[in-house]
Amino acid sequence: MKYLEIFTVESNIALNKTCFLLVLRSPVSLETVAAGQFVSIEVKGEDERILRRPISIHDVDKTNNLLYLVVQRIGKATNRLAEIKKNDEISLVFPLGNGFAIEGEKPLLIGGGVGTAPLYLLAKEFKSRGIVPDILIGARTNEQLFLTNRYSALGNLSISTEDGSVGERGLVTQNSVLKKDFDVIYSCGPTSMMRAVADLAKKRNIKCYLSLENRMACGIGACLCCVNENKEGHNVCVCTDGPVFLSDDIKL
Amino acid sequence: MEDNRLKVNIGSLELKNPVLTASGTFGYGTEYEDFLDLSALGGIVVKGTTGERREGNAYPRLAETPSGMINAVGLQNKGVEYFCKEIYPKIKDINPNVIVNVSGSSIEEYCKVASAINDLETIPAIELNISCPNVKKGGMGFGVDRQMAFEVVSEVRKIYKKHLIVKLTPNVTNIVEIAQSVEKAGANSLSLINTVLAMAVDSEKRKPLLSTITGGLSGPAIKPIALRCVWQVSHNVNIPVIGMGGIRNAADAIEFLLVGAKAVEIGTANFINPKISAEITEGLSDYLNRHGIEKITDIIGLI
Ligand SMILES: Cc1cc2nc3c(=O)[nH]c(=O)nc-3n(C[C@H](O)[C@H](O)[C@H](O)COP(=O)(O)OP(=O)(O)OC[C@H]3O[C@@H](n4cnc5c(N)ncnc54)[C@H](O)[C@@H]3O)c2cc1C
Ligand SMILES: Cc1cc2nc3c(=O)[nH]c(=O)nc-3n(C[C@H](O)[C@H](O)[C@H](O)COP(=O)(O)O)c2cc1C
Ligand code: FES
């Protein structure tokens, strides 16, 4: 079941220069929300933007009906979202898409930039099953990292920065944690990073899930704007067939 | 709640209210079932259906522009055979007016699809899309030429026995001319407008935003163009006109009725508020109450 509801802003906290954490109170139960799903937010303002914006679910507090989103300022809508304040109201369509399939005993979660956001709820899910995931976060510099202490509370955290300001210098695919043995990889981040992760997983014969962030208009499978090609050469909707795909099932 | 004052007829089609959903923006209807009562809509026009499966255009297919969006989906669908076998059984009873948008690149293809849909018992009408700007061959080609429009509609008329709606493109010099020729060819009604041929550019990357460079503009940005087209056409043909283009609230819908549309289709607004079509219907009832108007048909064509 999908809902269209007005949420109330509990808080909006800056995490670094461009990212902020939104805590939103839902008027309905969030019981069915799963890791890897997303919401579609209406961003109202004076300018003429009209479409909703898809944002991943970072965390959920089902007891208190709270939804956590991490958003990066990148353009008009996200800049406007950065300005919303406690008690503001905001319209969400949710929960959308298929979440992560939780499987494997030795999972590795690889996030790049704001793509790290949805991996938090996934890590939490593993932890609740008694599995401690490895979490690898990539960023250009330490200024782009966020909430790393919360991630390290859920798993073994490794960090790669391109400038070496924190963790290992280089790309995530060069991080030494990859020497360990894994049976499943989950990744969300820039396409170039996910492509490299998928290649690496294929070489090492590890099952790999990717979460895509294609541009969307409806978010519910009605407009066919968000498509990605699957391995049979057919276009599938990222919003309803994804956003999480097995890397072997799609062309990236 | 059903409001008898909102009933309208489009030829043989009986609509509970004049609010339908536009092709390509409402999937097959079921995508919206969590948000509104599908059976309460005036009608549902489902996705464009072609003779064979089509993958559509490459990603990116969407660019947001001031008060609108440009799409280049390009008629992605699994073909008419798949529609009849797999989709029709699931949607045949969701609404009394499930209408199939029929598209193609050749007269043969349009006829093939129309004849297959003709056999589907609960589909009372097709909307013949001779106006899609997003396919290389055919599509809009038929809708911009008076003679070609006449030919394709005449041929489909021969094999399609139920209500035939023909959807027009605004991307022409004289839309009235096309409308009249489609009427002569045997259309039972007209729907307009399809999207406006448009383009969006990323100045930073110095590249077009769509894989196809050009696409179709929809949303509030095109409403003034759509109103003009509906006004011109409805006063120059004798068949009913269904209006659309940028409608996002009841006031917009009323404007289309005032300039001569007997019903309206809601498109892009469904993406922003998936309940909008139901809300617009309620808004029409409110409008009648506020103005002490007896029934919605009383305001059609007042301008
Ligand atoms: C399923 C899904 C989950 C997402 N989760 C998150 C999340 O948790 N946090 C977050 O911050 N963002 C997330 N995004 C991305 C977010 O939706 C976009 O950043 C946002 O819509 C940008 O809107 P804007 O108006 O601020 O930018 P715009 O003004 O529309 O664009 C600014 C610039 O960013 C580029 N751009 C914008 N969106 C995309 C995109 N989807 N892909 C490629 N380039 C793009 C544009 O081309 C342009 O150059 C997600 C996207 C999807 C599809
Ligand atoms: C994503 C998208 C896909 C569309 N697909 C079709 C289609 O398959 N067939 C068709 O006749 N019109 C199609 N249209 C056009 C709409 O049905 C409608 O004519 C147009 O969008 C104008 O109405 P609006 O401004 O309310 O959206 C599409 C529009 C959009 C935005
Ligand atoms: S965004 Fe409309 S189909 Fe995916």
**pLDDT tens track for A173-229:** 999 999 999 999 999 999 999 999 999 999 999 999 999 999 999 999 999 999 999
Whether residue A129 sits in one domain with residue A65:
no
pLDDT tens digit sequence for B35-85:
999 999 999 999 999 999 999 999 999 999 999 999 999 999 999 999 999
Return the CATH number at A16.
2.40.30.10
Test the B interface: residue of A3, A235, A240, A251 with most B CBs within 10 Å: A235
Whether residue A225 sits in one domain with residue A147:
yes
- pLDDT interval class at A15 (50, 70, 90): very high
- pLDDT interval class at A45 (50, 70, 90): confident
> Which ligand has the minimum distance to the alpha carbon of residue B207?
1
Q: Which chain A residue's Cα is nearest to B56?
A: A235
Q: What pLDDT sits at residue A166?
A: 94
Judge whether B211 and B61 are in contact, CB under 8 Å. yes
Between the CA of A224 and the centroid of ligand 3 the distance, in Å, is 5
Inter-chain Cβ pairs, chain A and chain B, closer than 8 A: 92
> Which residues of B fall within a CB distance of 8 Å from A220?
27, 31-32, 274
Whether residue A87 sits in one domain with residue A162:
no
pLDDT tens digit sequence for A139-183:
999 999 999 999 999 999 999 999 999 999 999 999 999 999 999
Q: At what angle do helices B175-184 and B146-159 cross, to 10 degrees?
A: 30
Whether residue A243 sits in one domain with residue A192:
yes
Residue B260 tokens, joined: 């001569």
Between the CA of A121 and the centroid of ligand 3 the distance, in Å, is 24
Whether residue A230 sits in one domain with residue A136:
yes
Window 40-79 of B: residues touching A by CB (8 A cutoff) are 47, 55-56, 59-62, 64, 66-69, 71, 73, 76
- Mark which of A40, A70, A96 sits at the end of a domain: A96
Domain ranges, residue B187? 4-299
B132 as an active site residue: the answer is yes
Whether residue A118 sits in one domain with residue A52:
no
> Which residues of B fall within a CB distance of 8 Å from A221?
27, 31
**What is chain A's percent helix, strand, coil content, to nearest 5?**
20, 35, 45
CB contact under 8 A, B271 and A51: yes
pLDDT tens digit sequence for B125-151:
999 999 866 665 555 678 999 999 999
Between the CA of B266 and the centroid of ligand 2 the distance, in Å, is 9
- Mark which of A96, A122, A146 sits at the end of a domain: A96
- Mark which of A96, A122, A157 sits at the end of a domain: A96
Q: Does B256 touch chain A (CB under 8 A)?
A: no
Judge whether B219 and B193 are in contact, CB under 8 Å. no
Of the partner residues B55, B220, B271, the one whose CB lies closest to the CB of residue A218: B271
CB contact under 8 A, B25 and A223: yes
Residue A7 C-alpha, separation from nearest chain B C-alpha, in angstroms:
15
Return the CATH number at A137.
3.40.50.80
Would the CB of A237 count as within 6 Å of ligand 3?
Answer: yes
A120 within domain boundaries: yes
pLDDT tens digit sequence for B241-264:
999 999 999 999 999 999 999 999
Give the integer Cα–Cα distance in Å for B112 and B155.
11
Of the partner residues B61, B270, B272, the one whose CB lies closest to the CB of residue A222: B270
Instruction: For residue A250, list its beta bridge partners.
Output: A230
% of chain B at pLDDT higher than 70 = 97
- pLDDT interval class at A44 (50, 70, 90): confident
Of the partner residues B76, B219, B270, the one whose CB lies closest to the CB of residue A224: B76
Would the CB of A217 count as within 6 Å of ligand 3?
Answer: yes
Would the CB of A218 count as within 6 Å of ligand 1?
Answer: no
Q: What pLDDT sits at residue B133?
A: 65
Give the integer Cα–Cα distance in Å for B50 and B56.
11
CB contact under 8 A, A221 and B31: yes
* pLDDT over threshold 80, residue B236: yes
H helix and E strand count, chain A:
4, 16
Minimal-distance CA residue to ligand 1 atom 31: A75
Q: What pLDDT sits at residue B136?
A: 56
Q: How many domains does chain A have?
A: 2
Q: What pLDDT sits at residue B134?
A: 62
Residue A225 tokens, joined: 């704007």
Give the integer Cα–Cα distance in Å for B76 and A234.
10
Domain ranges, residue A92? 3-96
pLDDT tens digit sequence for A50-88:
899 999 999 999 999 999 999 999 999 999 999 999 999
pLDDT tens digit sequence for A80-124:
999 999 999 999 999 999 999 999 999 999 999 999 999 999 999
Return the CATH number at B160.
3.20.20.70
Best CA proximity match to B190, nearest among B144, B122, B237, B140 = B237
Q: How many domains does chain B have?
A: 1
Whether residue A169 sits in one domain with residue A69:
no
Whether residue A207 sits in one domain with residue A168:
yes
CB contact under 8 A, A217 and B31: no
Average pLDDT over residues A32-61: 92
CB contact under 8 A, A223 and B274: no
Would the CB of A216 count as within 6 Å of ligand 1?
Answer: yes
User: Does ipTM surpass 0.90 in this model?
Assistant: yes
Angle at A187 between CA A186 and CA A188, to 5 degrees: 140
Between the CA of A240 and the centroid of ligand 3 the distance, in Å, is 7
